Amino acid sequence: SDGLPDGLTLPDVSPQMMPMHFGTVGEHFVQITAKLGDHEVNGGMRYKAWAHYRERVLERLGGWHLIASGPDFATFSISQSVAVAAAAERHAKISKEERRYWGDKSDFCRCLELVLNEMEPRADKTPVPSSYQLFCQDRRREHKEEGHAMPLEVKVLGAMWKGLTEEERKPWVEKADHLKVSGAALGMLRKRSRCLEGGAGQHGDLP
């Protein structure tokens, strides 16, 4: 590390994490520096994925060669052929789950998001509804069942909700809390199951 600027560290990359074929003789390479200091943005997705699952990210990136990294950045060198292949996959609208090549900073962020979702799967991609949203769902359904042709307007629903006491709102508040707890518990169970399956596979218990 002698001679390196403050905060700059050389990567500790094991041989198995390096790409098997890093370009060909005479091939051009491009250098990409990605910022990772998004602790307060999108839940710190980029920083979290890189900090906790760096080996998995490097495996996913494949043809990317890590040159150096610091507290809030990572610098890579990638061959032009990899960048071209990544552009072709983007043009073909291949989903990030099926991507094999990544070619720029945007791709790097997509890869980080993919790895984080793999390692920490959410119970449900759809946000848990709030107590007010649950109230609106119930009132709209009741309104329709009563035979009204015109749906309830948002401002009417808002006024109805504001007119309720804390006690009257309680059923929807409790239901929203229950959905949040259930979703979190299911996410933990799926993560634990994934870990157990991975451990079993290492011992040959799974095909």
Q: Could you say which DSSP state residue 78 is in?
A: E
Q: What is the pTM of this model?
A: 0.48
User: What is the reported pLDDT for 69?
Assistant: 87
Residue ranges, the chain, pLDDT below 50 = 1-5, 8-25, 123-124, 189, 193-207
pLDDT at res. 43: 54
The pLDDT tens digits for 29-70 are 889 998 876 555 555 677 788 888 899 999 999 889 999 988
Sign of the C-alpha dihedral computed for residues 99, 103, 107 and 108 taken in this order? positive
C-beta contacts of 175-182 below 8 A and 24+ residues apart: 175/131, 175/134, 176/128, 176/129, 176/130, 176/131, 176/134, 179/128, 179/129, 180/128, 182/123
